[in-house]
Amino acid sequence: MLSLHNTALGDCGVPIRMGEAMSRHTTFRIGGPAELFAAPRTEEELWTLLAACKRDGLPYFILGKGSNLLVGDGGIPGLTVAMEGLSSVRVDGNVIHAQAGASLSAVCLAARDAGLAGLEFAYGIPGQVGGGVYMNAGAYGGELRDVLAGTVHCLDEEGQPHDLPVDRLELGYRHSFFTGKKWVILSASFRLEPDPEGPPAVAARMEDILSRRREKQPLEWPSAGSTFKRPEGAYAAALIDQCGLKGFQIGGARVSEKHAGFVINAGDAICADVLALIGEVRRVVQEKTGFVLEPEVEVTGRQG
């Protein structure tokens, strides 16, 4: 077992837990233990943790809401850093400034209360600002790139701070400059438009979108949201349904009967179940339709 005795990480002054169950920190409710786990309360604590990992030669993993994440049954080696403590949201005129650990819903509610329009599409997306920027989260015809403004504050692989202008973020479908990199997003800003009818009008649109989500998506089951990216010229859910895979199950993982684009944890699913189900769905869809489905869910950690 890893010991923190006489290490930079052990002496950094930030509380660290050992063997934290990652099933408690993902919307899939799946995942083995994080070898080490910390939730910094300030950007300074975050920087201290990452610097200590570098000195100790330890890998680190940045955890947001865990809403687009599948953690291996063997857990995550090194340090898992939860961003939940960095969650401030501030409204300045028609711009909302938010730290990476703020939930997208909290930012949406701040926009609603200020009577600002433009973020309604994000209401109900179960992620945080950092993860949303990382993957250019979107739904119902909107994407974060439509409303991101100014610069995104972040750290590079060496822990050096940067303020990247939005036009350098390479924002595309479920993609950004940060995709596949070990950079850490710290905060972002959103420029919105005042609604002439004020907060009630913004609230009505948000509630309409949330109602549509509840009607069409299996929100009553643990999942990681849409399991597959939208293939060019088709829709993943329609292809899966066309192949008769609704309700198909391996172990505790099941293709939702309500929305075929969702793989759900139907009861005590493990990572291996989900990966096996995803692989079989991809195989059948390619065999029957010719389309190759690309998983949208990020997979991390040891698989056994």
Catalytic residues: 174, 226, 296
Those residues with Cβ within 8 angstroms of residue 94's Cβ, 6 or more apart along the chain or in another chain: 114, 116, 191, 192, 193, 194
Those residues with Cβ within 8 angstroms of residue 226's Cβ, 6 or more apart along the chain or in another chain: 236, 261, 262, 296
Per DSSP, the chain holds a count of helices (H) and strands (E) of: 6, 19
Residue 35 CA from chain centroid, whole number: 21
Exposed / middle / buried, residue 92 (Cβ in 10 Å: 0-12, 13-18, 19+)? exposed
Find the helix packing angle between 199-216 and 104-113, rounded to 10°: 150
Radius of gyration of the chain (CA): 20
DSSP 8-state symbol, 59: -
- Which has the closest alpha carbon to 101: 131, 73, 122? 131
- Which has the closest alpha carbon to 98: 183, 176, 190, 165? 190
Tokens of 240: 């899966």
Intra-chain end-to-end CA distance of the chain, in Å: 17
